[in-house]
Amino acid sequence: AQKVTQAQTEISVVEKEDVTLDCVYETRDTTYYLFWYKQPPSGELVFLIRRNSFDEQNEISGRYSWNFQKSTSSFNFTITASQVVDSAVYFCALTHAHQAGTALIFGKGTTLSVSS
């Protein structure tokens, strides 16, 4: 069975602090995909990143970076120099690498609050 664990329920930081959101996953598949989504107060889901299980390279996109480590089944997300606009719920998700696509399994989410 697949499972995604986001142990941090809520995190509060002050602007310009760096913050890391943890994601640990469980799967028996050798090929799978991991995702991060942002859900701001408006409610829509904003796609941040997709990573397949064969690509362990870390990725940086502006203030965002992701650390994928298969050895520890983790896919952590770091925001550098956080801003108030980063306040949102962040979800980590996992799916099989089925050709036609299977549903995403979401973690419980981490609520990030950035104060000025």
Partner 1 sequence: SAVISQKPSRDICQRGTSLTIQCQVDSQVTMMFWYRQQPGQSLTLIATANQGSEATYESGFVIDKFPISRPNLTFSTLTVSNMSPEDSSIYLCSVTTGANYGYTFGSGTRLTVV
Site string for partner 1, 74-93 (x = CB under 8 A): -----------------x--
Interaction of residue 64 with partner 1, rule CB under 8 A: no
Contact indicator for 94, 33 with CB cutoff of 8 Å: yes
3-state helix, strand, coil in the chain (%, to 5): 5, 55, 40
Interaction of residue 70 with partner 1, rule CB under 8 A: no
Cα distance between residue 38 and residue 109, in whole Å: 9
- By CB under 8 A, the residues from 5 to 34 that bind partner 1 are 33
Q: Which one among 2, 8, 80, 106 touches partner 1, defined by CB under 8 A?
A: 106
SS3 of residue 70 by DSSP: helix
Footprint of partner 1 (CB under 8 A):
33, 35, 43-45, 47, 50, 52, 91, 95-109
